[in-house]
Amino acid sequence: MKKTNIVALVLLAVSAVASAQDNVNIFGTVDMGYRWSDRNVDSRIGSQSRIDSGTSVPSRIGFQGTEDIGGGLKASFVLEAAIDTSTGDLTGGGGFSRQAFVALAGRFGKVALGRQYTPGYLLTSEVDPFGSVTVGQYNNVFLTEYRWNNQITYFSPDWSGFSVSAALTPNGYGQESVGNRGTGATGDVYGLSVVPQYRNGPLLVGVHVQELRSRTSGLDAGGAPVAVSYDGKKVRAYEIGGTYDLGVARLAALYGIRRADSADFSPDTGASAGKDSRQWLIGATVPVSTHGKVLASYVRRSTELVGGGGDAKASQWAVGYEHALSKRTALYGTFSNVTNNAAGRDADFISSVGAGYNPGNGYQRSAAFGIRHNF
């Protein structure tokens, strides 16, 4: 049976459960818009115009539920699938690729197991004025991890505004196994992410510490040595960021360092041509009416190249406007511009203007306008 058919059956089954139980909800977003992209790093490629799904927020459908099991404990789950609403197809690998986890919460906090956002991404995407979506998203330039498979996450209670979240995975990008250690240059990727943060009134400030470690035999599936092996190699990330709401504007700032033993092998960043990186963001969200707000940010990254030579440098500035038609429906428009220096272009280490599941495809400038409806 095809994967799409299996997923369809699962969706129908969960929908039936949702209609039979009050504590199960269906949620999601349908987002469609016009997107124009220009100034590709390949001078032979012209501009592109298209109607895209998820030009503001990736379209998705999800199911979530909770159960009070007594003794101060609550069980819950989330299953969330990504959808390309321009075609109706599932994206992001199919299935519930966005999130799929079960959790238990009590006075001790909450523990969740399954595919989830990393604590570092939850912090940094909240700092980004664009929320890590639209063509202005910070992660067009800023290197970060998004979700891990096989993840166990702990969320502490709130202690007068202070809280801690921590996540651990034995393999964030596959199913951990002995076999994975002999099928490529990266193999199993162990991940640890810890975020202490403080939230009080208009202030949010947090620190993120993360380590990735690769475990591989350095052999391919046939037993031959691979050209590059990351066996035992590490990539560490250190970030600090926060926001402050002045009323007339919500200011944001983020600074991060990534240090790799040999290369940044993270599958999320695709930055194996780079080694150590320094990156930062400043931004603002400015209310201009009861229903409208202006968004703006500037992001910059400098990365030492594995092959030597000058550092690869990339920067992006972005500006956007969002207008709420209701609590669930909004119109939006965003423009962003990316610049890569010669060292980055020569090493094929290029930042481009993607949005959600829509890749940048080497384009350096993009504008998107559309409508988003949450349910």
DSSP secondary structure of 255-303: EEEEEESS----TTTT-TTEEEEEEEEEEEEEE-SSSEEEEEEEEEEEE
3-state secondary structure of 126: helix
The separation between the first and the last C-alpha atoms of the chain, rounded to the nearest angstrom, is 30
Average pLDDT over residues 44-67: 93
Query: 168-182, 204-218, 225-239, 349-363 — which is least confidently predicted?
Result: 168-182
| Domain limits, the chain | 3-374
328 secondary structure, DSSP code:
S
Sign, Cα dihedral of 142, 146, 151, 156: positive
Residue 227, pLDDT score: 59
Distance CA 298, CA 361 (A): 21
Question: Bigger pLDDT: 12 or 308?
Answer: 308
Q: Which residues pair with 28 in a beta bridge?
A: 61
On the question of pLDDT at 221 being above 70, the answer is no
Residue 6, pLDDT score: 46
Position 25 confidence tier, pLDDT thresholds 50, 70, 90: very high
Position 1 confidence tier, pLDDT thresholds 50, 70, 90: very low
Chain-wide mean pLDDT for the chain? 90
Rg (CA), the chain: 21
On the question of pLDDT at 5 being above 70, the answer is no
Average pLDDT over residues 163-178: 88
On the question of pLDDT at 18 being above 60, the answer is no
Sign, Cα dihedral of 158, 159, 160, 161: negative
Query: 119-123, 258-262, 268-272, 364-368 — which is least confidently predicted?
Result: 268-272
Distance CA 146, CA 254 (A): 16
Cα angle 297, 136, 322 (rounded to 5 degrees) comes to 85
Residue whose token pair is 């199919």: 94
Distance CA 167, CA 179 (A): 24
How do residues 284-340 score in pLDDT, each as one tens digit? 999 999 999 999 999 999 999 998 889 999 999 999 999 999 999 999 999 999 999
On the question of pLDDT at 367 being above 80, the answer is yes
Nearest to 351 by CA among 301, 286, 305: 301
How do residues 233-291 score in pLDDT, each as one tens digit? 999 999 999 999 999 999 999 999 999 999 999 989 989 999 999 999 999 999 999 99
pTM greater than 0.85: yes
Average pLDDT over residues 7-23: 54
Position 232 confidence tier, pLDDT thresholds 50, 70, 90: confident
How do residues 345-361 score in pLDDT, each as one tens digit? 999 899 999 987 788 99
Residue 20, pLDDT score: 46
Q: Which CATH superfamily is domain 3-374 in?
A: Porin (2.40.160.10)
Average pLDDT over residues 142-163: 97
For 123, the enclosing helix (H) or strand (E) is: helix 119-127
Cα angle 255, 259, 261 (rounded to 5 degrees) comes to 175
Query: 109-118, 217-226, 247-256 — which is least confidently predicted?
Result: 217-226
Average pLDDT over residues 135-142: 96
Contact between 114 and 100 (Cβ < 8 Å):
yes
